[in-house]
């Protein structure tokens, strides 16, 4: 039960990160569209793609940090003497 919250938050972070990456790809594709270039919105979509991609990497990094198993701490041999 102690680690259940890590799993729940990790899965939420994975879903949010993948959603952000999807938004980033869609915004980048939209920034190359003729319609967006014609109306001068290509830069806005490109900025959205960069921001969403960065947020996606942050959320996916958080998920890896939460869900990756950690080694048990080794005893410090120097402090024993």
pLDDT in tens, 10-33: 999 999 999 999 999 999 999 999
**Sites in the chain below the pLDDT cut of 50:** none
Output the six-digit token pair for 17.
Answer: 């990160």
Record the tokens describing residue 45, joined without a space. Answer: 């979509």
Element (H, E) at 20: helix 4-31
What is the residue range of 59's domain? 12-68
Rg for the chain (alpha carbons), in Å? 20
User: Would residue 80 count as lying in a domain?
Assistant: no
pLDDT at 32: 95
State residue 28's pLDDT score: 97
Q: Is residue 51 part of a domain?
A: yes
Number of domains in the chain: 1
Number of other CB atoms surrounding residue 56 within 10 Å: 20
Identify whether 74 is part of a domain: no
Query: Does residue 57 sit within a domain?
Result: yes
């Amino acid at each position: 039960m102690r680690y259940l919250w890590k799993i729940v938050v990790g899965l939420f972070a994975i879903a949010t990160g993948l959603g952000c990456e999807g938004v980033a790809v869609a915004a980048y594709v939209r920034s190359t569209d003729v319609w967006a270039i014609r109306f001068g919105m290509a830069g806005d979509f490109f900025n959205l793609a960069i921001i969403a991609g960065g947020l996606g990497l942050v959320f996916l990094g958080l998920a890896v940090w939460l869900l990756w198993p950690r080694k048990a701490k080794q005893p410090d041999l120097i402090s024993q003497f």
